[in-house]
RNA sequence: GGAGGGAUGACAGAGCGGCCGAAUGUACCGGUCUUGAAAACCGGCGUGGGCUUGCCCACCGUGGGUUCAAAUCCCACUCCCUCCGCCA
């Protein structure tokens, strides 16, 4: 949620910033007008309320002095005022809730660093990385044996069974088996071990209340992208960002405790409602995938470094796995609702010949903290909203795809990078099992 | 799923219709004293919102209701604790 005080103070700055994301200035004007009206009504109802309270005090005083006639007169006056007050506060609440609704739908202000642009085609590629790049090796060319799609590799080796997944839960729910399943586990354990030095490991619930979903900005705007369990008012989490952002909801943290860094390995559920039929083969786009998330609550001054640390760690995993990837600076039009500045990581998957998004590292300024009401006490004793940053490190389904394609050998087996060996209890080689 | 008990400020814990935003203790911050610390003493100490910056309003788990007036009475819900049942 953006700051209403800032909206009053400098509406033109907000219009310009939101305009970059395609929000018309009319929408902002409507909110400003509602705010003015809301405060006018608030003053009126509070004035009436104060009067009722004052009269009630005098009723009490009169009755103590056994002046029952005066007491009844005052009570009668107050009764009338009470009706007015009720009406006034109902009107205030009506305008107030309309104002809140609009405010909740308004996206965050893009940071000045964010490049202009309308959609993903305008994202700016910052750099690429590949094995040997630092020693001057050219961008890799991939051999024919690497140019096989992961769904074919998965079928041939018996490690990915999309048909069974579909049988159990419908299409786009993958089922990994054998070494394929172990690979997901290995990746998650490897990453968690990498982050254990600075991030507290959390295993949150995989479902969240509506309030919890509100805090990150996923609701009310993106309800159609989420799985809902209506009878229990629960939602399947689309990312661990949701529970982690709400972990300290409604709390005031000590400045000395910041940054609070958290990591979590959870399943992520996405309906992908608008994506029917588009890039949906194999693991390109799935309804459920596992992900290790990095997250931090921090002060505004710590935010840049907190975001940089997450990006560094996400890249570190990609480099340790020897995967080719690129770094994108998301343009204003492609920014997530809550984000002020986002860097995406895309891994190159040679078998499908595509860049696949595997991480999104975002700084939310105080947008989420305002919704979740997470503050910190500064050294001078005042309170301020924390900043939140998060990023995946990483989303494993697409990493799984890029790994088996990149490391497919001429004989059809997959020889995974040595860093995973400890998690495989030996040579991380995936071979077809004779059936 | 059934029965009972509870939810008040950072914590403990009073209040159970009328200057109660809330006693008291602890913690915390400032001061006096002290070579320094401790102790003692004095003072301060919740969060948001509105506007004429001094005042007003809201908040005692959440949402409704009763009343001139609700932390206090009534109803519903949520969470926690104890016991029983069921159970990975």
Digit-coded pLDDT (tens) for A44-68: 999 999 999 999 999 999 988 888 8
Question: pLDDT value at position A240?
Answer: 96
Query: Which residue lies nearest B51, CA-to-C1' measured?
Result: A43
CA of A46: nearest nucleotide by C1' is B57
Q: What is the dihedral of CA A142, A145, A148, A154, to 10 degrees?
A: -130
Q: In angstroms, rounded to a whole number, what is the distance separating the alpha carbons of residues A147 and A349? A: 9
Told to judge if A360 belongs to the known catalytic residues of this protein, a careful annotator would answer yes
Question: pLDDT value at position A275?
Answer: 64
Question: pLDDT value at position A134?
Answer: 95
CA of A80: nearest nucleotide by C1' is B68
Question: pLDDT value at position A391?
Answer: 98
Question: pLDDT value at position A38?
Answer: 95
Summarised one tens digit per residue, pLDDT across range A267-313 is 999 998 876 666 889 999 999 999 999 999 999 999 999 999 999 99
- pLDDT, greater one: A209 or A328: A328
Told to judge if A285 belongs to the known catalytic residues of this protein, a careful annotator would answer yes
Q: Which of A246, A360, A362, A392 is catalytic?
A: A360
- Residues A183 and A400: beta-carbon distance below 8 Å: yes
Confidence of residue A378 (pLDDT cuts 50, 70, 90): confident
The sign one gets for the Cα dihedral A114, A119, A122, A123 is positive
Q: Which of A357, A377, A415, A431 is catalytic?
A: A357
CA of A61: nearest nucleotide by C1' is B18
Q: Is the pLDDT of residue A380 over 80?
A: no
CA of A59: nearest nucleotide by C1' is B68
Told to judge if A270 belongs to the known catalytic residues of this protein, a careful annotator would answer yes
Query: In whole numbers, what is the pLDDT of chain A averaged over residues?
Result: 94
Whole-complex ipTM: 0.87
Nucleotides on strand B lying under 7 Å from protein C-beta: 18-19, 47-51, 56-58, 68-69
Nearest to A76 by CA among A57, A62, A55: A55
Told to judge if A365 belongs to the known catalytic residues of this protein, a careful annotator would answer no
Question: pLDDT value at position A383?
Answer: 85
Give the CA count within 13 Å in the CB-facing half-sphere of A405.
Answer: 28
By DSSP bridging, strand A375-377 and strand A252-254 are parallel
Q: How many CB atoms lie within 10 A of CB A276?
A: 10
How many angstroms separate the Cα of A203 from the Cα of each of A183, A200, A240, A265, A267?
Answer: 20, 10, 9, 7, 11
CA angle, residues A46, A50, A52, in degrees to nearest 5: 115
- C1' of B42 to CA of A385 (Å): 35
- C1' of B61 to CA of A427 (Å): 55
Q: In angstroms, rounded to a whole number, what is the distance separating the alpha carbons of residues A359 and A378? A: 32
Summarised one tens digit per residue, pLDDT across range A131-164 is 999 999 999 999 999 999 999 999 999 999 999 9
Q: What is the mean pLDDT of residues A62-85?
A: 91
CA of A60: nearest nucleotide by C1' is B18
- C1' of B23 to CA of A362 (Å): 48
Told to judge if A405 belongs to the known catalytic residues of this protein, a careful annotator would answer no
Q: What is the mean pLDDT of residues A203-221?
A: 89
Confidence of residue A73 (pLDDT cuts 50, 70, 90): very high
Q: Is the pLDDT of residue A435 over 60?
A: no
Please list the alpha-helical segments (H only) found in A240-383: 241-246, 303-320, 367-372
Q: Is the pLDDT of residue A8 over 80?
A: yes
Q: Which of A20, A21, A313, A398 is catalytic?
A: A398
Q: In angstroms, rounded to a whole number, what is the distance separating the alpha carbons of residues A28 and A24? A: 7
- C1' of B88 to CA of A205 (Å): 17
Q: What is the mean pLDDT of residues A223-250?
A: 90
- Model pTM? 0.94
Question: pLDDT value at position A64?
Answer: 86
Lowest-confidence pick of A357-371, A372-386, A415-429: A372-386
In this prediction, what percent of chain A has a pLDDT beyond 70? 98
Q: In angstroms, rounded to a whole number, what is the distance separating the alpha carbons of residues A361 and A119? A: 18
In this prediction, what percent of chain A has a pLDDT beyond 90? 84
> Which residues put CB within 7 Å of chain B, the nucleic strand?
A 4-5, 39, 42-43, 46-47, 49-50, 52-57, 59-60, 63, 74-75, 78-79, 82, 252, 375, 381, 383
């Amino acid at each position: 949620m953006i700051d209403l005080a800032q909206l009053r103070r400098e509406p033109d700055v907000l219009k310009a910033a939101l305009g970059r994301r395609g929000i018309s200035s009319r929408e902002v004007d409507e909110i400003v007008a509602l705010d003015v009206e809301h405060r006018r009504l608030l003053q009126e109802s509070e004035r009436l309320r104060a009067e009722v309270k004052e009269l009630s005090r005098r009723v009490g005083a009169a009755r103590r002095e056994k002046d029952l006639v005066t007491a009844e007169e005052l009570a009668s006056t107050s009764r009338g005022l009470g009706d007015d007050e009720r009406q006034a506060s109902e009107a205030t609440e009506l305008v107030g809730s309309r104002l809140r609704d609009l405010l909740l739908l308004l996206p965050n202000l893009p940071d000045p660093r964010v490049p202009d642009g309308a959609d993903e085609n305008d994202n700016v590629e910052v750099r690429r990385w590949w094995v040997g790049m630092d020693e001057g090796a050219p961008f890799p060319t991939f051999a024919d044996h690497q140019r096989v799609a992961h769904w074919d590799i998965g079928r041939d080796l018996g490690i990915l069974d999309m048909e069974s997944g579909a049988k159990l839960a419908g299409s786009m729910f993958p089922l990994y088996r054998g070494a394929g399943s172990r690979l997901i586990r290995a990746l998650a354990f490897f990453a968690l071990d990498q982050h254990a030095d600075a991030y507290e490991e959390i295993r949150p619930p995989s479902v969240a209340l509506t309030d919890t979903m509100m805090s990150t900005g996923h609701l009310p705007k993106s309800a159609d992208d989420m799985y809902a369990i209506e009878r229990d008012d629960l939602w399947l989490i689309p990312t661990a960002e949701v529970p982690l952002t709400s972990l300290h909801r409604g709390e005031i943290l000590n400045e000395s405790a910041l940054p609070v860094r958290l990591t979590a390995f959870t399943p992520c559920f996405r309906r992908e409602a608008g994506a029917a039929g588009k890039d949906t083969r194999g693991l390109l786009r799935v309804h459920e995938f596992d992900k290790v998330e990095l997250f931090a609550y921090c002060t505004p001054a710590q935010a840049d470094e907190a975001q940089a640390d997450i990006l560094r760690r996400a890249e570190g995993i990609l480099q340790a796995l020897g995967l080719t990837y690129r770094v994108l600076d998301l343009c204003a039009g492609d920014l997530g609702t809550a984000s002020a500045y986002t860097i995406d990581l895309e891994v190159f998957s040679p078998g499908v010949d595509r860049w696949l998004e595997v991480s999104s590292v975002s700084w939310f300024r105080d947008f989420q903290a305002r919704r979740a009401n997470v503050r910190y006490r500064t050294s001078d004793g005042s309170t301020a909203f924390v900043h939140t940053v998060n990023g995946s490190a990483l989303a494993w389904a697409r990493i799984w795809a890029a790994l088996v394609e990149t490391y497919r050998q001429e004989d059809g087996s997959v020889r995974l990078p040595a860093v995973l060996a400890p998690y495989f209890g030996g040579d991380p080689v995936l071979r077809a099992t004779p059936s």
